Structures are given as structure tokens and as C-alpha cells.
Amino acid sequence: MTPLKIILLWLLIAPPVGVLGAGRNTTLPRPSFVNVGALLTFNSVIGKVARAAIEAAVDDVNQNSTVLARTKLNLFMEDTNCSGFVGIVEALKLMENEVVVVIGPQSSGIAHVISHVANELHVPLVSFSATDPSLASLQYPFFLRASQSDYFQMNAVADFITYNGWRAVIAIYVDDDFGRGGVTALGDALARRRAKISYKAALPPGASLSRITDLLVEVNLMESRVYVVHVNPDSGLSVFSVAQHLGMVDSGYVWVATDWLSTVLDSSALADPKIMGLIQGVITFRHHAPESASRQMFSSRWNASSGSGLNSYGLYAYDAVWLVAHAIDEFLNEGSEISFSADPRLKDVEGSSLQFSALRAFHGGERLLQIMLASGFAGLAGSIEFASDKNLISPAYDIVNVGGTGVRNIGYWSNQSGLSVVPPEVLYGKARNNSADSQKLYGVIWPGDTTTRPKGWVFPNNGKQLRIGVPRRVSFKEFVSSDKGPDGVKGYAIDVFKAAVSLLPYPVPYTFELFGDGSQNPSYNELVYKVAQNEFDAAVGDISIVTNRTRIVDFTQPYSESGLVIVAPVKKVNSNAWAFLKPFTTQMWCVTGAFFLFIGTVVWILEHRFNSEFRGSPRRQLVTIFWFSFSTMFFAHRENTVSTLGRVVLIIWLFVVLIINSSYTASLTSILTVQQLSSGIEGLDSLISSNDPIGFQVGSFAKNYMIEEINIAKSRLVALGSPQEYARALKLGPKGGGVAAIVDELPYVEIFLARNCEFKTVGQEFTKSGWGYAFPKDSPLAVDLSTAILSLSETGDLQRIHDKWLINSGCSSTDNSIDSNRLSLQSFWGLFLICGIACVMALLIFFLKVLCQYNKFDENYDSESVEDRSGPLEAGRSPVRQPSCTSSLENLMNFVDRKEEEIKSIKMKRSLERSQRLGSSHLNDGSVSL
């Protein structure tokens, strides 16, 4: 094993120390003492406090009769001196003492190496300050962390970053296991929140001021102004000292320090004005320790006996000793014995002074570790209880803001609720809530003594300008094209971009670089890809915002609406003197005219006997029928209908006339104003179902859309490079080697149709998108430029730029009413049927009524009286019925022609004459009898 090979470098020669545990003395139920070790860096900020805390804890345990009873802890403490090699040597010295547990090591880097020794000798390592998250891996089964992992602290830092709206940070860290592990955890935490570490600025352990200066000068030239400092407490203040000298602790900068800074501040009994002057406005994190009576008592003892402050690692060190004490106590209460044996793989080498036999494996190491993992008690730093991943439960941090001569707590972070101004222990009993709305902190005083939240980024102060890619278009140059001016480009998209940049509250240095060979329009997908690969800092032009592009870059707010439309050729319908006949087919005209005459005749029949307006000479009545028939077309008939049946027929017919008039007017208007398609494509459905070729603009996303989204065969697509090619291909048509239609974005189509009135758009837009400017992912400039574009839109400047470059014309009307509008009989036969049935029923009722009246006449009625059309029958003459069929039909027709009042008068006169004849007969009969 690699760490054991390092033992060969151990040149210390010492016999084994003869202090044995209870395993060698089976006569005693419990040993009088148990050896435990501690690995610290005595002269470090953490080591000084931890050493005193461990010693105090051992004294408290040995004086407490409820723990370990008559067994005492025998502490062996070694100084690693901030050296990995020295740490290995000191760890091996501890193992010679047959310690059952090592409290430490203090450093994450040393912990990685010593863990291999612990694995071999089965001695648990209980560290109070090795916070590297990778130490929790399965590779180190005997490592137990009695403090919080940096995994949780980096999640707290990431939440604070995203809470303030920053998307990119620069990590300044010490390049060792501690620093690399923490920064890796920070990068993962930011990535889950759609943020990132834009640059990792690594410092060697114990870096000199010149090295720190060079590093900070480098990061100061970069875009991000949010710095996360994850270094050792002993050298961390040097970073701020250099930063202040470079003017980097000022307004616009954000400094976030991990818990090392709070450790430095808490370790000092009194605030040092020099130190406080270096870190004004800095945010730091501190392990959260709930208030408790035991903690207050210990703090009082500490302050009375120590000249330094008590930091959170001192609390964890104190709790680690008690964790070990409780575990050993339970281990012994189970009847287990403390025993060691030589590792057969470790043998002394002949001729060497190295004594490998002094390193003995602890038999009960695994059981002791299991007991500690199952432990649970309230320590000074909070609850000492482990989760299944061997991390302490309920991780929480105080968020501290440095200001003036002290610090103030602006909130808390916990794994339970994220950012909050309520202490975590208050929230533990409530439901978990990490929603964005619940995240809250108090106000911060930022560097520069300002309460305004810094933007968090600036343009790199490295003399470089933004390289903005611009498509070199060869068609539709109104949108963007090359130019001989100072910018080298011009167009609608360029003017909008320059106007938006002018609204930003900071200067943006940029230079335009043309993309494309100038012979044809470039591929916009390739341009966007170059932005994603950082070959361009941005792309400005008529760039459509589509799904596959948004996956790799960020777009601004659209500055122009867009969408795919279909263009097809049309032909004009030239109006002439006979255009008014086109709304109806010949069949429709004939049936309509016939029904006008039919209705006039029916109404005349129904009204003739009752209405004097429908009577007169034959010529007059014929004129009345024609006049009434066609005057109903305009609702201008002057004759009144008095019969019930006549009114019913007229009402139904007038409704039919209303429908016919309305339809005729609409159809004629459409025919006279709407143009007709000369191709079979009428919209998206017919585009898909047709087999005709379809044109698209070179470089447009329309090609991929038609192939991938609506499954049009690639063989049907024809690339066209200019409006002239559009017009030529559409005029040739699919049979002449051209295309049936063209699919392109609406702004291009509007320009094309403004100059080519013989073409029109058909159907509706079948995509809805817009044009925007592309920036690399998470670019803050994309957000600010979006706000500027919205401002241009609200002030009307965006529309004015549009009107300056783009031509508006009536030719670009998107009228979709392009089908033939001639109406056939099929649309109206139902109305005619209803009207015809009503007329037939009315005539049937009328003739039945007339026949009944005619049959009631006396058979001997004098036909001459019936034929007299000027008055009643002459007195004294009896009607004589003609025997021939012709006379009967003639009598019937004469009867029908009579007015109803005349018939009634005849009937009354006949009745009176009959009465008179009967009276005369009786008188004659009486005279004869007399």
C-alpha cells in the first residue's frame, strides 16, 4: 500500500511503549486507562484552539463519574506541523502507543494519507476539522468526521450566490486536497442551480505575497466580480491584504469567504482594526451552534482561562472527545476487551533500524466505529448524530457580514430550509421548504460601504473587445450586410443592437467580424455554434430563436417577430362588364329566375279573388305578376297581400330572397377583390401532401424544420439564394423546373412581396418565433441587453428603426381568401324546396276551396248570368248548365275569375229568387183551388 511505503522513510528508532490496555490484563473487568491520540498543528489558528479544547474535554471526561467510570482517557498528542510527511511520521508514533482512536487529523490533506494507516491498523480517525467531502467515500471506512462536510457549506455558498442573481463566480482556493475538494463541491452545487465557476484560481499551500498578487491581478482582468475564497485560516488574510492593495475590496466587488474567515475572527479575543479594515463588506460562513446552557458554561470557562477566542472547530474538537468517551464506555460495557496484535504483513527488515513490529492492529476498531456511528447526544456545537452517509445530521451555517469593527448575522442556511432569517432549530419541526419564495436574508453592506447589490460582473479589463460575429448576407441586405463604414456592417439588426447597447449603464467595447464567404448566405447554425465554442463572444444579426440553438447559447429578448410562412404564385381576376354574373352559376341563375316568376304567379293566384290590386285586364294582371315577382328581389313590391296563404308564401320567399341577396353580395365582393392561386398549395396541409418541389432560403433553419418537424422529403427541397431566384422559381412552377411554393421567415417574405405583387402568402404562420442576439450560456450581457431591447420597444425607437430599413407595401397583404367563390345550386336547394312546398300547399288549399264553392251552385244556374262579369245575374233568368266539357271548364274558369264578394252576392240572390219562386207557386196553387 502506497502510504505504508512511506514508512520506509521513517528513520525514528524507538522501542514500543509499554503502556498496554485492558486487553493484556484479563483480571480486571475494566482497564484503568485507555490510550487515545490527537493529531494537530499546534501553531495554527485552528490547532491552538483545538488543542486547548481537547485537553479540556479529556479533563472533563476523566472527572465525570458517569462516563467510563473508573477508566481514564490517556491522551497522546502530536504536532503535524502543517506537513504531510511529518503528519505521517507523527501518526505512526501515535500508533506505537496502541491508541484505540485518533482525534484528527486536523488537515484534510493529512487525513487522506493517514486514513490508509487507519485502514491497515483498524484505528478509527475522528476528525473535527478535515472537511474535504471526498473523505466520506468508501475508500476510507475508518474515517469519521465529527464536524460538517464542505459539501454542505458549498451548497450554502451556492444558494447565497443564486439568491443574489449571480451566475458566474471565480473560485480562489489553496491547491491541496482541502481546497480542491471544496471547489469541486462548489462547482457541482452551482451547476445544479444553473450557475458556474467561470475560473478556478489556484494558490499553492503557503503561497507568497508575490504569487498571490500575480493571481489577483489576473482574476481582476476577468469578467466576474464575485470571488469565493476557500483557503486555510493561517494564510487567508494575505489574499485580502493584496486585494485591498490592488483596490479590489471596493464597490462593485463581491467577496465570499468560507468558514475559515469566521474561524480567524472568532479565534481572536478582541477585534483587530487592521484585520477588520481588510475585510469590510465580506460575507463569510460559520458553523451554526444552537444556544444552550452547556455551551454558555463552557464559553464562560474558556474566556476565564484562555486568552484567545473560541471558534466552531474548538467546539467540534471538544464534542469529538466526548463522542470517543461515550463510545469507549459502551464498548467496555459490552464486555469487549481492548487488544492489539501484530500485522503479519509488517516485518522488521534485517540490517534496518526500523521497528515495524511496534505497529499493532486494534481488534475492536470496527466495533468501536459502529458504536460511534450509532451515538447521539447534544454537544456544544449541536446534535452529535450521524446519518447513513456518515455525515452529521442537520447541517447548518450562520451567514455573517463584516462591517465596521464587528460582524453581524444576516441569516442562516440549513439543509432543511435553505436561506432563512429564522434559526434552523426553529424550522426543524416544520415541513421542508426550499422554494425560491421562502428564501430570505437581511440586507448586506457590500464592499465600498454600499447597500446596493453589486452587479457581479464587468467587461474584462484586459484591453480586449467583444468579438461579435455578423452573418455576411448576399440577399435581403436590409437586415444585415457588409459596409465600407467604420463598423464594417449595416442593417436593421445592426442598428437595433447599437441602439440597445447605448442604453446600457456601462460601456461595451466591441468589434464586428463578418461570418461567411460572401458568395451565399452563411449557415446560421454554424454561427451560433461558434458562439457556443467561444470563437465569438456574441452573434448579431437576423438569427431565429429556435430550440436546438437555445440548448447551446442564450438569446436576448426578440427584437423582431418571425415565423415560417408559405409563398405561392397568384393570378388576378380581371373584372369586366359581366362580372356581376359570376357569383352564381348558370344553373343557379335559371332556377332563381324561374322561382321569381313562380312565386309571382302563386301570389297572384292566392290574391286574385281577394285583392283588387291583383285584378284588371289580362294585360294588367300579367304585368302585375312580373312586377311583383322581381320587385321582391329588392323588397320594393307595392302590392299588398291580404290573404293569409299569400302572406305565408310571401314571408317565406322574402327570407329566401334575403339569403340570396346576402350571398350574392358577399360572393361578388370576394370575386372582385380577391386574387386566385395558380398552384395547388393552399396551406401547410396541402404543402405536406403535395409532391411538388418547395423552395427555401440558403442558411435558413426552414430546411431542417421541414425535414425534421413536418417530415417533408429532402429531395423536394430546393435551395434559393435571393429574391430574384424566388421570383424566377415561382414563375417557372413545378412543371417548368421551378417550385410550387417557398417556405421562409415572415420578415424576408414581407420584403419579397413588397416588390413582387404577383405572389401571396397562403395559409397561416406555422411557427412562432423571433429574432434575437446570441451570447454564450449564462452571459449576463444577454440579460441586460434584453432589458434594453424592451426599453427600445416601449419608447417606439424599435419601430422607427424598423420603418427606416424595411419597406411596407400593400403587396405583402396576407389575404388567405384565395379560393373560388362562385356559388352553386347545391348551397340553396333546401331554401327553394321549402318555398316550393309552401307554394304548392297554398295552391292546393285554394283550388279545393274553389271547387267546393263551385259544386254548391245550382245545376240549373244560367250560364249567361255567370258569364256576366259586370254585375249580378239578370232577374227572371235561370242558369242553364251546358252539357259539354268545354262549357263546364269555361264555367269553372269564369267562376274562379269572379271576386269572392260577387260569388257571395250571386248565392244570396239565388237564394232570394228561389224563395220568391216558391212563394209564387203557393199563391198560384191557392187561386186554382179557389
- The closest of 724, 697, 714, 470 to 565, measured between CA atoms, is 697
Stated as kind and residue range, the H or E segment containing 126 is: strand 125-127
The three-class DSSP label of residue 7 is helix
Question: Looking at residue 823, what DSSP letter applies?
Answer: B
C-alpha dist (Å) from residue 435 to 252, 416, 417, 855: 28, 11, 8, 98
- The closest of 769, 269, 792, 846 to 549, measured between CA atoms, is 769
Say which residues have a Cβ less than 8 Å from residue 673's Cβ, sequence separation at least 6: none
- The closest of 378, 53, 107, 55 to 125, measured between CA atoms, is 107
173 beta partners: 202, 230
The three-class DSSP label of residue 90 is helix
Sign of the Cα torsion 755, 757, 763, 764 reads positive
Whose cell is 464575485? That residue is 226
Backbone φ and ψ for 454, nearest 5 degrees, come out as: -65, 150
What Rg value do the Cα atoms of the chain yield, rounded? 52
The predicted structure's pLDDT at residue 656: 85
Same fold, 150-292+395-426 and 677-768: no
- The closest of 239, 237, 198, 238 to 221, measured between CA atoms, is 198
The predicted structure's pLDDT at residue 12: 34
Backbone φ and ψ for 737, nearest 5 degrees, come out as: 90, 10
76 and 37 in contact (C-beta within 8 Å)? yes
Task: Compute the distance between CA of residue 395 and CA of residue 151 in angstroms, rounded to an integer.
Answer: 10
Task: Compute the distance between CA of residue 808 and CA of residue 201 in angstroms, rounded to an integer.
Answer: 55
The three-class DSSP label of residue 145 is strand
Task: Compute the distance between CA of residue 842 and CA of residue 610 in angstroms, rounded to an integer.
Answer: 15
- The closest of 820, 823, 837, 834 to 660, measured between CA atoms, is 823
Amino acid of residue 92: L
Task: Compute the distance between CA of residue 879 and CA of residue 740 in angstroms, rounded to an integer.
Answer: 85
Question: Looking at residue 495, what DSSP letter applies?
Answer: H
C-alpha dist (Å) from residue 789 to 4, 225, 478, 786: 65, 25, 19, 5
Task: Compute the distance between CA of residue 80 and CA of residue 904 in angstroms, rounded to an integer.
Answer: 140
740 and 734 in contact (C-beta within 8 Å)? yes
- The closest of 694, 685, 705, 683 to 544, measured between CA atoms, is 705
Domain spans of the chain? 33-147+299-384, 150-292+395-426, 467-561+779-805, 579-673, 677-768
Residues 757, 762, 763: CA angle, nearest 5 degrees: 155
Say which residues have a Cβ less than 8 Å from residue 614's Cβ, sequence separation at least 6: 603, 604, 607, 608, 621, 624, 639
122 and 361 in contact (C-beta within 8 Å)? yes
Backbone φ and ψ for 566, nearest 5 degrees, come out as: -110, 130
The predicted structure's pLDDT at residue 823: 56
Domain covering 677-768 assigned CATH 3.40.50 in the classification: no
Helices and strands: H and E segment counts in the chain:
30, 31
> What is the per-residue burial (b if ≥16 Cβ within 10 Å, else e) of 608-641?
bbbbebbbeeeeeeeebbeebbeebeeeebebeb
C-alpha dist (Å) from residue 7 to 36, 143, 354, 381: 21, 20, 9, 36
Sign of the Cα torsion 773, 776, 782, 783 reads positive
The predicted structure's pLDDT at residue 10: 37
Residue 907: exposed, middle, or buried by beta-carbon count in 10 A (0-12, 13-18, 19+)?
Answer: middle
Task: Compute the distance between CA of residue 501 and CA of residue 510 in angstroms, rounded to an integer.
Answer: 10
DSSP symbols for 348-388: PPTT----GGG-EEETTHHHHHHHHHT-EEEETTEEEEB-T
Whose cell is 456545537? That residue is 381
Backbone φ and ψ for 394, nearest 5 degrees, come out as: 55, 55
- The closest of 262, 294, 285 to 381, measured between CA atoms, is 294
Residue 770: exposed, middle, or buried by beta-carbon count in 10 A (0-12, 13-18, 19+)?
Answer: middle
- The closest of 731, 723, 721, 730 to 694, measured between CA atoms, is 730
Whose cell is 452547556? That residue is 294
The three-class DSSP label of residue 234 is helix
Instruction: Name the fold adopted by 150-292+395-426.
Output: Rossmann fold (3.40.50)
Say which residues have a Cβ less than 8 Å from residue 729's Cβ, sequence separation at least 6: 695, 718, 720, 738, 739, 742
The count of other CB atoms within 10 Å of the CB of residue 198 is 18
Cell of 229: 475564497
Question: Looking at residue 457, what DSSP letter applies?
Answer: B
The predicted structure's pLDDT at residue 458: 84
Backbone φ and ψ for 37, nearest 5 degrees, come out as: -120, 165
The predicted structure's pLDDT at residue 580: 67
Task: Compute the distance between CA of residue 585 and CA of residue 574 in angstroms, rounded to an integer.
Answer: 18
The predicted structure's pLDDT at residue 575: 55
Inter-axis angle of helices 780-795 and 492-502, nearest 10: 100
The count of other CB atoms within 10 Å of the CB of residue 697 is 25
β-pairing verdict for 510-515 and 466-471: parallel
The count of other CB atoms within 10 Å of the CB of residue 749 is 26
210 and 153 in contact (C-beta within 8 Å)? no
* Chain centroid to CA 857: 93
End-to-end alpha carbon distance in the chain: 172
Question: Looking at residue 640, what DSSP letter applies?
Answer: P
* pTM for the predicted model, two decimal places: 0.67
Residues of the chain with pLDDT under 70: 1-29, 346-357, 461-463, 571-580, 612-613, 634-639, 671-680, 807-828, 830-831, 857-887, 919-930
The predicted structure's pLDDT at residue 817: 40
CATH architecture of structural domain 467-561+779-805 = 3-Layer(aba) Sandwich (3.40)
Amino acid of residue 195: A
Task: Compute the distance between CA of residue 129 and CA of residue 77 in angstroms, rounded to an integer.
Answer: 16
Out of 3.40.50.460, 3.40.50.2300, 1.10.10.10, 3.20.20.70, the CATH code matching 33-147+299-384 is: 3.40.50.2300
Task: Compute the distance between CA of residue 229 and CA of residue 503 in angstroms, rounded to an integer.
Answer: 34
- The closest of 10, 35, 30, 12 to 340, measured between CA atoms, is 35
Say which residues have a Cβ less than 8 Å from residue 861's Cβ, sequence separation at least 6: 873, 878, 879, 880, 881, 910
* Chain centroid to CA 250: 36
Helix, strand, coil proportions of the chain in percent (round to 5)?
Answer: 45, 15, 35
